Amino acid sequence: MCLAVPGRVTEIAERDGTRMAVMDFGGVVKDVCLEYLPDLRVGEYAIVHVGFALQRLDEESARRTLDLFAELGLLQEEFGDPWEAARVAEEAGP
């Protein structure tokens, strides 16, 4: 459920008494309602679902998660993973 994607705020304005933003999704620009995240600022990221910003995206946390994934990869390289090696060998085939 709930296809929601991270976008970056580029403009904020009141419209019809409603707090609205223009948000950028990697080159795709859409109007988004900020009523649920009224303190979101230009430049910040938020998770957007059906035209509503529902939660601020914590960039620091995103980086930490990616670092963890990379670290697990390094561990795996160091200690090896025969199953993975077999898959890579298979993929390298025709």
Partner 1 sequence: MADTEILSGPAVVPTPAPDVEPAQAPDLSGWSCPLPLRDHPRVVMGHGGGGAMSAELVENIFAPAFGGPVLAALGDSAVLELGGARLAFSTDSYVVRPLFFPGGSIGDLAVNGTVNDLAMSGARAVYLSCGFILEEGVEMAVVDRVARALGAAARTAGVEVVTGDTKVVEAGHGDGIYLNTAGIGLVPAGVDIRPQRAVPGDVVIVSGQIGLHGVAIMSVREGLEFGVEIQSDCAALGGLVDAMLAVAPDLHVLRDPTRGGLAAALNEIAVAAGVGVVVSERAVPVPPQVANACAVLGLDPMYVANEGKLVAFVPRGEADAVLAALRAHPLGAGAAVIGECVADHPGMVVARTAFGGTRVVDLPLGEQLPRIC
Partner 2 sequence: MKYLEEFQNPELASGLLADIRATVTRPWALMEVCGGQTHTIIRHAIDQLLPDEVELIHGPGCPVCVTPLEVIDRALAIAARPEVIFCSFGDMLRVPGTDRDLFRVRGEGGDVRVVYSPLDALRIARENPEREVVFFGIGFETTAPPNAMAVHLARRQGLRNFSMLVSHVRVPPAIEAIMNSPHCRVQGFLAAGHVCSVMGTDEYPALAERHQVPIVVTGFEPLDILEGIRRTVRQLERGEHTVDNAYPRAVRPEGNPAARAMLEDVFEVTDRAWRGIGVIPQSGWRLSPRYRDQDAERRFDVAGITTREPAQCRSGEVLQGLLKPHQCEAFGTVCTPRTPLGATMVSSEGACAAYYLYRRLGTPTVPQEASPVG
Of the candidates 3, 14, 92, 93, which one interacts with partner 2 according to CB under 8 A?
3
Which amino acid would we find at residue 24?
A: D
User: Which of partner 1, partner 2, none interacts with 93 (beta carbon under 5 to 8 A by kind)?
Assistant: none
- The residue among 74 and 89 lying less far from partner 1, judged by its C-beta, is 89
Q: Does 25 bind partner 1 (CB under 8 A)?
A: yes
- The residue among 11 and 58 lying less far from partner 1, judged by its C-beta, is 11
- The residue among 75 and 86 lying less far from partner 1, judged by its C-beta, is 86
Which amino acid would we find at residue 94?
A: P
d(CA 34, CA 36): 5
Q: Does 18 bind partner 2 (CB under 8 A)?
A: yes
Of the candidates 10, 41, 81, 86, which one interacts with partner 2 according to CB under 8 A?
81
